[in-house]
């Protein structure tokens, strides 16, 4: 194999082969029990799931050390507050744009009108957490628990507080900050080690997903599916590009090209949270954003910013309303906008969570929750695409905040080779 091939290219090839393998199995071998037991639910499942675990394994330590370095790098509580407010406001703003775009396009195209209301699969809606709890739970009653559970908002809250205290303790804090920097450096290396296995992991993940899902599932739902994808693309290439040009003064084409590794991971894992290590690495090393901004905005975004999910919710609302012949008024649509923004803040970036929040949106505007059964079949594939959009939103906002704080290095951003991930040379004993 070509020595110069980057990891990203290898992963991309593995992803394509996995997709084709999975689709072929789905089409021709779905009732061969040997294939199902030993390949799909055996080999594919085990290696794919172990790979996702290895990514998740990096998230908590990486975010912790990186965030300590970030806060100490900013060094000023007032600036920290300013970065936080900017990021939060931009996250809400972009999610608002996303859901509005989705509603406008979906109402114009009207997917689901005349749809034969096919048998609905039973969908049991899991209760969504009440929003008051979401806010109360930002403050961890036990930080060790927060770390153990990987509760991102609680971890961010505690680590920021801890790092501020470090800043306040002078010399002791400075020494600890140096240690955190060293640990962060080592963690980044661990990320590269895990990335070395990514082509294999991604192949198995894709093969498993498409063996189970099959492309054919999309056909009866093609109307809904294509409107969601259209809106995701419009937002991904249109809205974000405009924001990058006007607010971050950056070339969106360079941005999209450099985001590729993060896109691939988001697509194959369908989890913004599991993608945090890759997003962080891309945003810092390839796009040139300083750790002092990225360490804070990227994990925050993975948790509270989900533009792609909001888009799916907007289109799904219009689709189900059309299928069931229910007229929604302006106030209903406004409720959908508000609920989707809140839902995006209140949920973690893990696979399939968007559907659970959709139940909450439906309840609020009086749509039948069992309608979700209709869109269940195509949701996994949409989840993969919308997760890629979710993390693109995190990176876009990070760049805008970095530009306004003067923490982006344009030279790194322009350099096509900056931060390219290549194979890691393992040390050998002399
Ligand atoms: N999988 C998405 C994410 O992790 C959330 C969702 O839409 O279900 O960002």
Closest CA to 310 of 336, 277, 284, 330: 336
Cross-strand partners of 247 = none
Return the pLDDT at 8: 79
Mean pLDDT of the chain: 88
State how far the Cα of 71 lies from the Cα of 164, in Å rounded to an integer: 7
Phi and psi at residue 157, to the nearest 5°: -60, -50
The rounded distance, in Å, linking the Cα atoms of 91 and 94 is 5
Q: d(Cα 184, Cα 420) in Å, to the nearest integer? A: 19
C-alpha–C-alpha distance, residues 228 and 250, integer Å: 27
With a cut of 60, say whether residue 77 has pLDDT above it: yes
More confident residue, 38 or 135: 38
- Residue 408 DSSP one-character state: B
Q: Give the pLDDT confidence score for residue 357 in this predicted structure.
A: 81
> Residue 1: what pLDDT?
44
- CB neighbour list of residue 339: distance below 8 Å, 6 or more residues apart: 313, 360, 361, 364, 365
Q: Which of 156, 141, 143, 163 is nearest to 88 (CA)?
A: 156
Q: Which of 211-220, 310-319, 344-353, 418-427 has the lowest mean pLDDT?
A: 418-427
pLDDT for the residue numbered 164: 92
Q: Between 42 and 348, whose confidence is greater?
A: 42
Q: Rounded to whole angstroms, what are the CA distances from 135 to 9, 138, 214?
A: 41, 5, 39
CA distances from 382 to 179, 262, 354 (A): 42, 17, 10
pLDDT digits (tens, 9 = 90+) for 295-344: 999 999 998 899 999 999 999 999 999 988 888 989 889 989 988 888 77
Confidence of residue 246 (pLDDT cuts 50, 70, 90): very high
pLDDT above 90 covers a percentage of the chain that reads 53
Selection from 197, 196, 204 nearest residue 19 by Cα: 204
pLDDT of residue 85: 94
CA 175 to chain centre: 34
Ligand 1 lined by 305 (C-beta under 6 Å): no
Q: Whose CA is nearest to atom 3 of ligand 1?
A: 349
According to the model, what pLDDT value does residue 126 have?
Answer: 58
* Ligand 1 center–CA 319 separation, angstroms: 20
Q: How far is the CA of 79 from the centre of ligand 1 (A)?
A: 30
Radius of gyration for the alpha carbons in the chain, expressed in angstroms and rounded: 22
| Ligand 1 neighbour 301 (Cβ under 6 A) | no
* Average pLDDT score over residue span 406-423: 87
Predicted local confidence at residue 2, as pLDDT = 47
Pocket mutation for ligand 1, best pick of 301, 372, 390 (most atoms within 8 Å of C-beta): 390
**C-alpha span between 389 and 234 (Å, rounded):** 10
Task: Catalogue all structural domains in the chain, each as residue range(s) with its CATH number.
Answer: 7-414 (1.10.3860.10)
pLDDT tens string 157-179: 999 999 999 999 989 999 999 99
Length of the chain: 430
d(CA 336, CA 98): 12
The predicted structure's pLDDT at residue 221? 82
Query: What pLDDT is attached to residue 324?
Result: 87
More confident residue, 5 or 179: 179
Q: Is 347 in the pocket of ligand 1 (CB under 6 A)?
A: no
How many CB atoms neighbour CB 122 within 10 A? Answer: 9
Cα 270 to middle of ligand 1, angstroms: 6
Torsion of CA 246, 302, 417, 14, to 10 degrees: -130
List the single range of 347-356, 384-393, 413-422 with lowest mean pLDDT. 347-356
Mean pLDDT score, 226-253: 97
Angle at 372 between CA 371 and CA 377, to 5 degrees: 120
Q: How far is CA 316 from CA 7, 171, 238, 298, 323, in A?
A: 36, 55, 21, 27, 10
Decide if pLDDT at 128 tops 90. no
| pLDDT for the residue numbered 341 | 86
Tokens of 154: 């609680």
Distance 177 CA to ligand 1 centre (A): 33
Query: How high is the pLDDT of residue 342?
Result: 82
Q: What mean pLDDT is predicted for residues 409-427?
A: 81
Ligand 1 centroid, distance to 261 Cα (angstroms): 18
Q: Over 90: is that where the pLDDT of 118 sits?
A: no
280 lines ligand 1 (CB under 6 A): no
The two tokens of residue 17 are 């082969």
Q: Is the CB of 382 under 6 A from ligand 1?
A: no
Handedness of CA 214, 108, 101, 373 (dihedral sign): negative
Categorize the per-residue pLDDT at 86 as very low, low, confident or very high, splitting at 50, 70 and 90. very high
CB contact at 8 A, 226 and 73: no
**C-alpha of residue 266 to centroid of ligand 1, in Å:** 9
């Amino acid at each position: 194999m070509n020595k110069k091939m980057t990891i990203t290219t290898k992963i991309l090839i593995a992803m394509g082969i996995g997709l084709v393998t999975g689709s072929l199995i789905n089409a021709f071998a779905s009732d061969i029990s040997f294939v199902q037991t030993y390949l799909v639910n055996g080999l594919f499942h085990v290696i794919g799931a172990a790979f996702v675990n290895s990514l998740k394994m990096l998230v908590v330590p990486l975010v912790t050390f990186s965030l300590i370095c970030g806060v100490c790098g900013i060094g000023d509580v007032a600036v920290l507050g300013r970065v936080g407010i900017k990021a939060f406001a931009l996250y809400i703003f972009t999610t608002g744009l996303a859901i509005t775009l989705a509603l406008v396009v979906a109402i114009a195209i009207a997917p689901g009108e005349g749809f034969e209301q096919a048998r609905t699969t039973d969908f049991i809606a899991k209760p969504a957490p009440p929003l008051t709890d979401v806010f109360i739970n930002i403050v961890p009653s036990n930080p060790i628990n927060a770390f153990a559970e990987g509760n991102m908002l609680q971890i961010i809250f505690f680590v920021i507080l801890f790092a501020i205290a470090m800043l306040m303790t002078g010399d002791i804090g400075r020494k600890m900050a140096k240690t955190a920097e060293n640990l962060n450096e080592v963690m980044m290396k661990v990320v590269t080690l895990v990335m070395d296995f990514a082509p294999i992991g991604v192949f198995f993940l894709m093969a498993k997903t498409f063996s189970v899902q099959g492309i054919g599932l999309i056909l009866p739902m093609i109307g809904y599916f294509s409107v969601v994808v259209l809106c995701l693309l419009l937002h991904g290439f249109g809205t974000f590009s405009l924001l990058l040009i006007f607010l971050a003064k950056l070339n969106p084409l360079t941005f999209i090209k450099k985001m590729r590794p993060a896109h691939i991971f988001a697509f194959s894992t369908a989890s913004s949270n599991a993608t945090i290590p890759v997003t962080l690495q891309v945003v810092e090393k390839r796009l040139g954003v300083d750790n002092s901004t990225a360490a804070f905005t990227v994990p925050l975004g993975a948790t509270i910013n989900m533009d792609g999910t909001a888009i799916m919710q907007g289109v799904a609302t219009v689709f189900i309303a059309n299928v069931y012949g229910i007229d929604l008024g302006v106030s209903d649509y406004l409720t959908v906008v508000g609920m989707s923004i809140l839902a995006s803040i209140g949920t973690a970036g893990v696979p399939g969570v968007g559907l659970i929040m959709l139940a909450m949106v439906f309840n609020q505007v009086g749509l039948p929750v069992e309608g979700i059964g209709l869109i269940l079949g195509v949701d996994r594939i949409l989840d993969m695409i919308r997760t890629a959009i979710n993390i693109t939103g995190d990176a876009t906002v990070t760049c805008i905040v970095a530009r306004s704080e003067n923490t982006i290095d344009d030279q790194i951003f322009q350099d096509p080779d900056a931060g390219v991930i290549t194979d890691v040379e393992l040390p050998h004993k002399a």
